[in-house]
Homo-oligomer: A and B are copies of this chain.
């Protein structure tokens, strides 16, 4: 780390003095020192007093709003972020072309239990779903899970609407574990049910709450398969439908969706901004978040929060005059929600340019109080990063465990793309209790983000980038 300001000269001198001692011992273990404590303190101080994450999230949510890939708002968000980040004394900034699909919800979206009751259900088409081409009406059959589906015969489901009603397991302390355990009914439910001749799919929303918000999300069809429409219904409505099926001999549901995928690819972008490394400019530490969101709510936690936190990392490095050894690169990925073409394209370009990436860090678990990082790396890498609890514990960061990095950065570890077989991935791990209350719903709005929690996340990302940049060479992989 080279530091640009006068305060930084003091920190640097301390760093030299203490490092010199630890180098004498010849131990290739972390040698963090007083300068690190002071610098990390200054990152958090700056974020808590002058942080821009909250103000910027307000703009992104309220002036731009929801921003699905292909929408005008997604491009507006990219242009806005370009303008904001350009002010932060970075070395370069550019847009990277990405081809992705543009899915449109359309203006009709109605799901109801038909008959005398005519109970309208709070529903949202799943992203990527085909429409119903007018009204679809069919008997509905409840299935507890993808596994449970296998117990049915084709004749039992042929011509039916299949209702996947597996709830998220509330007992999981990490709600992402509960999500991971049953999200496949949403992603693969339509493809699986179509194998049995089903004509439509309803899915219980992925949330531990009992509420009226439908929570959408991505789904996929199999190539060459009949595409059947799919929608999420709120958990309260899932319970109503479940009870209705129990209480009635026949349960008929109508679905009316006119969502569709635009023919031909949407031409869109990742936004990339860099601070060039002073010692190893060819080595890259990439950190990012996705700037696209679903087409409902405001994408505040998912992933406006990560977006503004990554922008804040660049601001913090700029305003504190921190010069990294390695190149720091922020990527705001497009299309995480429905296709991940932003992440795929970035990784492909890395491969083409033969760029060495030390690691990739992502923030895509909401703007809640940060508790640490999940690490997709070697045992040595995880142990080394975990030892930084001494520097980061005072800021509430105690969680440094083996785990998932993130959707956008995932391709960077794919053997198809990676230039560095020892690359490690990290995901910011905020407190996970509230995330799925808002996730992919109309309630994912700015008002549900807390300023201090959000700003602490940006500072945590900056501290992690700082430490990796300074000490990565000691890891020994």
Taken together, the copies of this chain in the complex come to: 2
Are A48 and B431 also in contact (CB < 8 A) when A208-B452, A369-B369, A371-B396 are? Answer: no
Contact with B along A42-85 (1 / 0, CB 8 A): 00110011000000000000000000000000000000000000
Interface flag for A173 (CB, 8 Å): yes
Could you tell me the distance between the alpha carbons of A452 and B396 in the complex, rounded to whole angstroms? 20
CB pair A173 B450 closer than 8 Å: no
Interface hits, A457-475 → B, CB 8 Å: none
Give min CB distance, A166 to chain B, whole Å: 16
B431 near A431: Cβ-Cβ < 8 Å:
yes
Q: Residue-by-residue, is A403-439 near B (CB-CB < 8 Å gives 1, otherwise 0)?
A: 0000000000000000000000000000101100100
Give A contacts to B, CB under 8 Å: 44-45, 48-49, 170-171, 173, 175, 208-209, 369, 371, 394-396, 398-399, 431, 433-434, 437, 450-453, 456
In the assembled complex, the Cα of A371 lies from the Cα of B433 at a distance in Å of: 12
Whole-angstrom CA separation of A208 from B54 in the bound complex: 14
With A208-B452, A398-B398, A452-B208 in contact, is A170–B48 under 8 Å at CB?
yes
Inter-chain contacts of A208 with B (CB < 8 A): 452
Q: Can you report 11 residue pairs joining A to B where beta carbons are below 8 Å apart? A: A44-B171, A49-B170, A49-B171, A170-B452, A173-B395, A209-B451, A369-B369, A396-B431, A433-B450, A433-B453, A434-B453
With known contacts A208-B452, A369-B369, A452-B208, A173–B434 Cβ distance under 8 A: no
Distance (whole angstroms) from the CB of A45 to the closest CB of chain B: 5
Complex A-B, nearest 6 residue pairs according to Cβ-Cβ distance, in ascending order? A398-B398, A433-B452, A369-B431, A48-B170, A45-B171, A433-B453
